[in-house]
């Protein structure tokens, strides 16, 4: 197998791992945050508005980690600088 094939395989596997592992942590974090917020609302119903507002802000921050993993995978698939370099060195 030539170098272009190896770079293509590595890019696809890297993108798969970036999305797979990059979404696992935020998914677990969002579930735990929602469970904690529901528990807090059950204990203090008067503070439900404050807890809900804080929950939405923290969920957005947690979700940004998964979005960064998605962006990295898209860069690996569609704007890979290693691929461009390898093609230029191969004379293509």
Contact 21, 68 (CB under 8 A): no
| CATH number for the domain whose boundaries are 29-80 | 1.20.20.10
Closest CA to 52 of 44, 63, 41: 41
pLDDT given for residue 23 in this prediction = 92
CA 40 to chain CA centroid, Å, is 28
Q: Whose structure tokens read 């807090």? A: 40
pLDDT given for residue 92 in this prediction = 59
Q: What residue ranges do the domains of the chain occupy?
A: 29-80
Q: What are phi and psi of 74, to 5 degrees?
A: -70, -35
pLDDT given for residue 44 in this prediction = 95
Q: Tens-digit pLDDT profile for the chain (92 aa)?
A: 677 888 888 889 999 999 999 999 999 999 999 999 999 999 999 999 999 999 999 999 999 999 999 999 999 888 888 877 877 887 75
């Amino acid at each position: 197998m030539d170098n272009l094939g190896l770079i293509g395989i590595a890019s696809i596997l890297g993108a798969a791992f970036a999305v797979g592992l990059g979404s696992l942590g935020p998914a677990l974090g969002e579930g735990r945050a929602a469970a904690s917020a529901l528990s807090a609302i059950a204990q203090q119903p008067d503070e439900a508005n404050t807890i809900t507002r804080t929950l939405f802000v923290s969920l957005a921050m947690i979700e940004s980690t998964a979005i960064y993993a998605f962006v990295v995978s898209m860069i690996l698939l569609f704007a890979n600088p290693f691929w461009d370099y390898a093609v230029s060195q191969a004379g293509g």
